Amino acid sequence: MKKTLTIIALFGFALVFAQTAANLTEFKENISKQKVEAKKALKPYRYDGSKVTYFNFKTYKQVKEVEIYLFNNTDYRFSFNGKSLPNDVTIKIYDEDKTNPKRILLTEVKGVKGKNLVVESKDLNATYKSKKSGASRLKRVFVDYEIPGVTGAQNKKPTMKERGAVILVMGYKN
Amino acid sequence: MTRRIKIAMMASASLLLLGSCGGSEPDDNQVVDASDTLEEDFDVDLFESPEIDYHLPSPLQVASIFKKSGLEYNTGVTNSADNSGNYNDELSQHLNFGVYSADMAYCVLNEQANEGRIYLGVISTLAAEIGMEAVFANEDLMDRFELNIEDKDSIEILMIDIHERTEEYMEENDMQHQSAVHFAGAWTEGMYLGVYDYEHNGSKEGLGAQITEQMAILGNIIKGLKDPRNDGMELGWVITELENIQSTFDAFASVSAYYEDESADELTLSDEEYSSLGELIKALRSKITNG
């Protein structure tokens, strides 16, 4: 009896293990496909790189921040893909990092879940100049992902339905 | 080992790690402050990004920006391909992979396709040494280069493909922390090429401003190099040199004045400051390329 129970337990563990692996593999493969989609939205801008921000929805709100440099009056395009999101997140772009209380909000994007959205640096620059007198251009921006709290989320052992990612692909005008 | 098994192992490791964390959790309405949890930047969970992250520009973009700023092509200034055989340890191979990537971008953008082709060969060889042979395993890269050698735009697109393949390969194989080492080499070479032109072809205002602007990236390069997963590479001296460049720059009177004046728009260094910064860049570049 003991032996049978051990075999069942081991079998059960192996099944869960294999399922988790399969789910994570699928998650990663979807992200690769979504990155291709985000890259297409950059055209005719030249691809410069990507940044996938992974997170797990938790019972409390989180903020993840990505710093991006803008050089020499170059025009940039940022393509956000939210097709790996189980819940929506808010994207806010600022001129300074989140430690600076005086930072300027340049744009706010909601409803990225299931979509691919594009933001242009020239629009961010226009907002920046309108909000900061005497400023000529942005030299960097900070992309903040505001990840809302989710009731009942497994904070310590996240399940697949709590895993999410936003794919950001960047390009510049040549 | 297949990728699926590796992912499963990493997933279970991360689940075990997450399960073993005993710290208290924030309230449901509280936002987790990254400055309080900086150590989490190096968590093992591949599906949990750090709270504070950054994107560094590709060598092609950096070369393109320098060119737009007035950088001219100078023959014989790039790191000779003949030196590639001298890089026998892991650190010098990673650093010079970055150096040669910057050199290739510089040559391609300045229509020196033959030089660029030589650097593609060197980069492929170094990639094999540092465990990234798969990026260049497909022989069509060199064939495409040969086929399009007269077409600058096609060669640039080829370079973007290489950059993207490298980026994907490093992400899939959990090697992203090493990209800071490549970037440290590429950044140093880019700055060196800028400083050389600034010193030899007359002080160009746009180029000087671009050298200054590139300093903004340095803090994140240093942060990337300090990732504990890079510990085995004995990066201490590189970090020390880069921190010295950073602190020297921060101590310049022009830099202090720039940050004190909220209305200041562009940062321009004095001739002495450019010279001082240039000497440090040249010294570091020499150490890196000498292996």
* A-B Cβ pairs (cutoff 8 Å, strict): 146
Distance from CA of B86 to the nearest CA of A (A): 30
**Residue A133 clears pLDDT 50, i.e. is over it:** yes
Which residue(s) pair with A93 in the sheet? A107, A143
Return the structure tokens found at B15: 């689940």
Instruction: Look at residues A160, A120, A98 and name the one whose alpha carbon lies nearest to residue B7.
Output: A160
What would the pLDDT profile of B119-159 be if each residue is shown by its tens digit?
999 999 999 999 998 988 876 888 888 889 889 899 999 99
**Which chain B residues are within 8 Å of A48, Cβ to Cβ?**
57-58, 60-61
Select the residue of B28, B49, B58 nearest A149 (Cβ to Cβ): B28
Q: What is the pLDDT of residue B8?
A: 45
Angle at B121 between CA B119 and CA B124, to 5 degrees: 110
Select the residue of A17, A21, A67 nearest B54 (Cβ to Cβ): A67
Distance from CA of A58 to the nearest CA of B (A): 9
**Residue B16 clears pLDDT 70, i.e. is over it:** no
Q: What is the pLDDT of residue A17?
A: 64
**Which chain B residues are within 8 Å of A84, Cβ to Cβ?**
none
ipTM attached to this prediction:
0.88
Residue of B nearest to A35 (CA): B168
What would the pLDDT profile of B183-199 be if each residue is shown by its tens digit?
999 999 999 999 999 99
**Which chain B residues are within 8 Å of A47, Cβ to Cβ?**
160, 163-164
**Which chain A residues are within 8 Å of B167, Cβ to Cβ?**
49-50
Q: Which residue has the higher pLDDT, B36 or B285?
A: B285
Distance from CA of A163 to the nearest CA of B (A): 8
Domain boundaries, chain B: 5-289
| Strand order across the A116-120 sheet | A46-56, A163-172, A76-84, A116-120
What would the pLDDT profile of B244-272 be if each residue is shown by its tens digit?
999 999 999 999 998 888 777 788 899 99
Which residue of B3, B5, B7 is the best one to mutate when testing the A interface, meaning the one whose CB has the most A CBs within 10 A? Answer: B7
Alpha-carbon span B262 to B253, nearest angstrom: 15
Return the structure tokens found at A99: 């430690």
Residue of B nearest to A27 (CA): B47
Q: What is the pLDDT of residue B43?
A: 43
**Which chain A residues are within 8 Å of B58, Cβ to Cβ?**
48-49
Alpha-carbon span B267 to B257, nearest angstrom: 9
Residue of B nearest to A135 (CA): B265
In chain A, the DSSP E strands lie at 46-56, 62-69, 76-84, 90-94, 105-109, 116-120, 140-147, 163-172
Distance from CA of A3 to the nearest CA of B (A): 25
Q: Exposed, middle or buried by CB within 10 Å (0-12, 13-18, 19+), for B186?
A: buried
Q: Return the CA Rg of chain B.
A: 21
Q: How far is CA B103 from CA A54, A70, B189, in A?
A: 33, 22, 7
**Residue A59 clears pLDDT 90, i.e. is over it:** yes
